[in-house]
Amino acid sequence: MTIGSVSHPPPPQRDWAYFFDLDGTLIEFADTPTAVRVTEELRSSLEQLHELVGGALALLTGRPIVEIDRLFPNRRLPAAGQHGAERRNAMGLVTSHAPERDLGPARQLLAQAVFDKPGLLLEDKGLSLALHYRRAPDLAGFVHQTMEALLADLDAEYTLQQGKSVLELKPAGKDKGIAVLEFMSEAPFAGRTPAFVGDDATDEYGFATVNELRGYSIKVGAGETRARWRLDNVKAVQQWLRSISD
């Protein structure tokens, strides 16, 4: 991990392949996942870039693909949802990585655990379960203790993923770095230089993969990171995105 400031990313190029996280990268965080706002300007910028690079643009996020499509309804962009547990390629084919172990018991236990904790939000994504504590930061310890206890009963098929004010129980064996590799093995991404933009711990897998591919790893905001370049905040990312379209 590198610490401190890293340089501003170089001007983007049309022969790159682009990978973007969503929350904290392209869009600002909100109190709940459903409360985020996506401007028409951002939608238009992404659609223009998607066309400019011949479709070599994908969204990589912890959100399910169905949520990505709700936020960006005008075009079915290539995407990896739930940290790579589900993926839609450039041809529109969706694949998913579903462990054999049923999440049903864990789902019930989490619902009971948060029943008397109104500041917590349980997000059921289908293949994964996320427990948000943005509205109750003092319950972070409770969240970690509860999720770690659930993980112990799920063998090695699941893992915990820390995000910003959220802890997620997700299928093991998939992450954003693996998603980048899967996209880069297919048209129209293959043969291009990858650029990955993200803001938190879930994106470090993508940064590591892009570094190995000698691409451009770009961290949004402060904090330790494997990324080699940095943008200050969401507004800076959107400005950089507009410069690509220009």
Residue/partner pairs of 231-234 with CB below 8 Å, 24 or more apart: 231/8, 231/9, 231/197, 234/24, 234/25, 234/26, 234/27, 234/28
Q: Which residue among the candidates 21, 23, 175, 200 is catalytic per the annotation?
A: 21
- Domain layout of the chain by residue ranges: 16-97+174-245, 104-171
CA pair distance 146, 223, nearest whole angstrom: 26
* pLDDT reported for residue 243: 84
pLDDT digits (tens, 9 = 90+) for 23-54: 999 999 988 888 999 999 999 999 999 999 99
Paired with 25 in beta bridges are none
Residues forming beta bridges with residue 229, ordered by sequence position: 7, 218
As its CATH architecture, domain 104-171 has Alpha-Beta Complex (3.90)
% residues pLDDT > 90 (the chain): 82
Question: Does residue 21 have an active-site annotation?
Answer: yes
State pTM to two decimals: 0.92
State which residues of the chain have pLDDT below 70.
1-6, 245-246
> How many residues does this entry show for the chain?
246
- Tell me if 212 sits within 8 A of 195, measured CB to CB: no
Position 1 scores a pLDDT of 60
The CATH code that applies to domain 16-97+174-245 is 3.40.50.1000
